[in-house]
Structure 1
Amino acid sequence: MSAELPDYYFRVRENGAFVFRVDTENRQRRIEMDQIAVVNVRSGEVKPHGDRVLSEADIAAIQDWLNDRVALLAERDVDDILRAVDHMNLTTQWVQSRATEEQLDQVTDSLLLAMHDLRTVLVRKKADRLLRESSKE
């Protein structure tokens, strides 16, 4: 553990985080974490905990964390999709080289429907982008 702890701790949860102020400046030199707010990543909403009033430093630290978190989640989304592409390639290889008739019977309809749905959405989104780009010219 590093000698100096951060001033704030963010306990990540499904759609945001609980924000704690970290305090080691007490008699017992114990780490105390005092909840000061709740952050919602999707809406950007910050709710002070209880009757607490957030300082400018609190708000700045929370906003910095929120900006970093939104960027990280966006990166993870793209990485997850690129992993899905890899998995689709591995699936193709499995279907071509190792899948049994029974296994193909189990997965074919689900895969075809999912791939059709994905293709339909991708084609529509691409067409929308191309139309927007051509209307700007």
Structure 2
Amino acid sequence: MAEKLPEYYFRVRDNGAFVFRLDTENRQRRIEMDQIAVVNMRNGEIKPHGDRTLSTADIEAIKNWMVERAQTLAHREIDDIFRAIDYLNSTTHWVQSRATDEQLEAVTDNLLLAMHDLRSTLVRKKADRLMKG
């Protein structure tokens, strides 16, 4: 490892992370990971691990990570939606050009219900936005 390791490591989990302080300044030059906190992204809570007290630098680093993580998740969410649009287009092409009668029988009702639900929700949300503006 030519580059210096970061001071903190965040082990991502659902709705947050476990926060570790990294240490390579030991006799064996091994990477030691010392858990210092647990982060809950849903409610913004930062809990020190065990009976630890977090320093101002610890809290600042964790809060910075939380901001960056929220941005990453927001980007991924909208990217997933754009991928869904592409997938719907691919599905349309498959239905039109390659699907067998048996395959269509297996998926048509579920696709129609899902598309009806999506369309109804999109139309309602669009109407709500138009009424506000």
Smaller-chain TM-score range?
A: over 0.9
CA-to-aligned-CA distance 1:14-61 (integer Å, 9 cap, x gap): 221100001112222221110000011122111110001110000000
CA distance in 2, matches of 1:96, 1:66: 45
Residues 1:17 and 2:30 are matched in the alignment: no
2:47 corresponds to: 47
Give ranges in structure 1 of 5+ residues lacking alignment: none
Root-mean-square deviation (Å): 0.9
Match of 2:28 in 1: 28
Q: For residue 2 of structure 1, report the CA deviation from its aligned partner.
A: 3.4
Query: TM-score, structure 1 length as denominator?
Result: 0.93
Return the letter of the residue paired with 1:70.
A
Equivalent residue number for residue 132 of structure 1: 132
The TM-score normalised by the length of structure 2 is 0.96
In structure 2, runs of 5+ residues without a counterpart are none
Which region of structure 1 is more displaced relative to structure 2, 20-29 or 85-94? 20-29
